Amino acid sequence: MGIADLVPGVSGGTIALITNIYEDLITSINHVNAKEILALFGSNRKTSWQKINGPFLLPLILGIATSILFLSSIIGFFLKYHSLALWSFFFGVIFASSILICKDVKQWSLSSIVGLIVGGLSSFLISFLSPAESTEALPYLFLCGMLMIMAMILPGISGAFILVLLGAYETALETVELVRSFRKQGFLNLLAFGLGASIGLKLFAHLVGKLYLNYRDPLLATMSGFMFGSLYKVWPWKQFINDQTSDKIAVLPQFKLNNFELWIGLGLILTGSFVIYAFHKMSQYQKR
């Protein structure tokens, strides 16, 4: 989930869904409140720890934090120097995830089909929006944290992509580097992001839990549509529109036997798809 949240176009909520921990995640978040957190320091700490599902949340949070802290520089390196390989891998991840979520819809009704179409068109059109200018104002980072976490908890909507649109994606990656260097500004930025994310998570998890419980199939179909629509954004093969702009458009690769980039891209698309399929199968086995 941490790796997925680092890359625009991939959602940590999607990883949670296809590995069959999404319901546990939403339920556990809704059980966390100030009363239970304070009780962890009292005599009934064991009861409170079980009530907030600590044995589930703690390793999950540590795993996400570890990925973000130690792998952000690796993701940044690949984005800069080997973008085709990275986007190919994540294209496979998103495509396979979209298929698995579609298969998880139990009954395809009119509302589910409409949700799939609306989600796909919305995500496709959002990918053409121009990112805002970067800013490091702490109140703005607080707002970014709220919007980011709301997107992250929904399968199909990328929190990292929301940060790109808000102009805070580079600031977020820089914050991780500053924290690793024990710089004061890094911890201030992290505090702003963290407070916004904590409040947004608590406010939004309850709503998502109700939607998931009462409108599961239309919600999953809509989120799957978001993922299908985002495939254009992460299509590995792109070229600049012209020399005067940095905007790129998706193009088809040259299908030649000596085109090594083509085979590397296709290989990594298959690898990304296989990784998601393997995670899905492992989670099904563990549920038994």
The tens digit of pLDDT for each residue in 9-27 reads 667 887 887 777 888 888 8
d(CA 229, CA 239): 19
DSSP code per residue over 77-125: HHHHH-HHHHHHHHHHHHHHHHHHHHHH-S---HHHHHHHHHHHHHHHH
User: Would you state the pLDDT for residue 271?
Assistant: 94
The verdict on residue 37 lying in a domain is: yes
pLDDT 10s digits, 215-264? 889 988 998 888 888 888 788 888 766 655 556 777 888 888 888 889 99
Instruction: Identify the domain containing residue 178 by its residue range.
Output: 2-229+253-287
In this structure, the strands spanning 248-250 and 238-240 are antiparallel
pLDDT of res. 150: 79
Q: Give the pLDDT score at 224.
A: 87
Number of domains present in the structure of the chain? 1
Cα 72 to the center of its chain, rounded Å: 14
52 part of a folded domain: yes
pLDDT exceeds cutoff 90 at 104: no
Query: Above 80 in pLDDT, residue 281?
Result: yes
Residues 136-154 pLDDT 10s: 688 888 988 888 887 777 7
Q: Is residue 234 part of a domain?
A: no
Q: Is residue 191 part of a domain?
A: yes
Q: How far apart are CA 4 and CA 15, in angstroms?
A: 8
- Of the pLDDT bands very low, low, confident and very high (cuts 50, 70, 90), residue 110 is very high
What's the gap between Cα 151 and its chain centre?
A: 7
Confidence of residue 266 (pLDDT cuts 50, 70, 90): very high
Task: Tell me: pLDDT of 112 over 90.
Answer: yes
Q: Does residue 237 fall inside a structural domain?
A: no
pTM: 0.76
> Which pLDDT score, from 0 to 100, does residue 134 have?
62
Residue 32 lies in a domain: yes
The pLDDT score that the predictor gives to residue 59 is 93
Mean pLDDT of the chain: 83
235 within domain boundaries: no
Evaluate whether residue 247 is within a structural domain: no
Quote the pLDDT of residue 287.
60
pLDDT band at residue 204 using 50, 70 and 90 as cut-offs? confident
Cα 89 to the chain's mean position, in Å? 15
